[in-house]
Amino acid sequence: MEGKKKSKRGTLILTIFLAIIFLLPFYIVLTNSFKTQKGIFLNVTGLPFGKFFTLENYVNAFKELDFVHSFFNSLLITIVSTVLIVIFSSMAAWMLVRTKSKLSSFLYFLFAAAMLIPFQSVMLPLINLMGRIGFLNRGGLIFMYVGFGASLSIMLYHGFIKSIPVELEEAATIDGCNKFQIFWYIIFPMLKPITVTVSILNAMWIWNDFLLPQLVINRPESHTIPLKMFYFFGQHSKQWHLALAGLVIGMIPIIIFYILAQKHIIKGVTKGSIK
């Protein structure tokens, strides 16, 4: 009994320690976003009080980021890419599961193997190619996101769809559904938990991504929030107070999305792995 109590206490202490490590960056970002630049340099870890406390960072960051436009760009690219990833990956995974052939096994292996290739090793030839076919714009970026997002999403869907009995599809065939109707009316609604997981994983990655948009989007009016953030880090000076306020503004939408869908992501991960 005594040993059990001790180990419980040990686990609790470890959990608190890890939580502090994980939450520390959030604390620093949040507290320093309310400080003047001088206040940040004088005391990074302290709370924003007195003459160093300011709300102006948010007003200025909002203006400098051209937030309405960059927010719209981020939202457009994230939503369209995620929706396309969900539709194409779920359909592809369904066909890969239900088609028992060497080709389908090879294709599945190809998708799985693609996850092992680091983005940095393909980015230069990719951008070169995309530039030649006129794809260095928002449309091209979405196209590339669908490609990069497909591997993991197909893997997740594949694992889940394998647990769906094929009799459901046969029942739907007898009920008068064609292939597309079987997918749309029967399979896709059943994929809801894993679709939420796939959506969250992809939306978070796409929303926060910096490198690919940086390489693809040249026109400033098409810039996303992470790209605009880069303006705060000049060659000679770094406007930490604005950058941190900008970070908070940029984080809020995806955090809200995560909180709303959090219940489903846990359910989705469990279902995908256990079922």
Partner 1 sequence: MSNVVLKGVEKVYPNGFKAVHGIDLEIEDGEFMVLVGPSGCAKSTTLRMVAGLEDISGGTISIDDKVVNDIPPKDRGIAMVFQNYALYPHMTVYENMGFSLKMKKTPKNIIDGKVRGAAKILDIEDLLDRKPKELSGGQRQRVAVGRAIVRDPKVFLFDEPLSNLDAKLRVHMRVQLSQLHQRLKSTMIYVTHDQVEAMTMGDRICVMNLGKIMQVDTPLNIYQYPANKFVAGFIGSPPMNFMEGEIIATNNNIKIKIKIKEVELKLPLDKAKNLKDHIGKKVWFGIRAEDIIIGNSDGENTMKGKVKVIEFMGSEAFVYSQMEDEEFISKVDFLEAKDLKNGSECFFSINMDKCHIFDYDSEKNISLGLKIKGEFDV
181 binds partner 1 (CB under 8 A): yes
Distances from the Cα of 180 to the Cα of 2, 22, 39, 41, 169, angstroms? 61, 45, 60, 60, 11
DSSP characters over 2-46: HHHHHHHHHHHHHHHHHHHHHHHHHHHHHHHTTB-HHHHHH-SSS
99 binds partner 1 (CB under 8 A): no
Q: Which is nearer to partner 1, 149 or 193 (CB)?
A: 193
Write down the least CB distance from residue 139 to partner 1, Å: 34
Q: Which of residues 219-238 bind partner 1 (CB under 8 A)?
A: none
The DSSP letter of residue 232 is G
Q: Which is nearer to partner 1, 168 or 252 (CB)?
A: 168
96 binds partner 1 (CB under 8 A): no
Q: Which is nearer to partner 1, 4 or 100 (CB)?
A: 100
- Close Cβ partners of 35 (under 8 Å, ≥ 6 residues apart): 48, 52, 53, 54, 57, 241
Q: Which of residues 183-222 bind partner 1 (CB under 8 A)?
A: 185-186, 189-190, 192
109 phi/psi in degrees, rounded to 5? -60, -40
Write down the least CB distance from residue 264 to partner 1, Å: 14
Write down the least CB distance from residue 101 to partner 1, Å: 10
Task: Answer yes or no: are the C-beta atoms of 173 and 182 closer than 8 Å.
Answer: yes
165 binds partner 1 (CB under 8 A): yes
| Residue with token string 């202490």 | 13
Write down the least CB distance from residue 88 to partner 1, Å: 22
What's the one-letter identity of residue 238? Answer: K
Write down the least CB distance from residue 261 to partner 1, Å: 18
Q: Which is nearer to partner 1, 2 or 167 (CB)?
A: 167
275 binds partner 1 (CB under 8 A): no
| Residue with token string 């939202």 | 75
Among 21, 116, 174, 274, binds partner 1 (CB under 8 A): 174
Q: Which is nearer to partner 1, 60 or 173 (CB)?
A: 173
Write down the least CB distance from residue 170 to partner 1, Å: 5
Taking the mean position of all CA atoms in its chain, how far away is CA 31?
A: 25
Q: How many residues does the chain have?
A: 275
177 binds partner 1 (CB under 8 A): yes
Write down the least CB distance from residue 199 to partner 1, Å: 18
Size of the site for partner 1 (CB under 8 A): 17
Task: Answer yes or no: are the C-beta atoms of 264 and 196 closer than 8 Å.
Answer: yes
Residue 259: exposure state from Cβ atoms within 10 A (0-12, 13-18, ≥19)? exposed
Interface residues with partner 1 (CB under 8 A) are 165, 167-168, 170-177, 181, 185-186, 189-190, 192
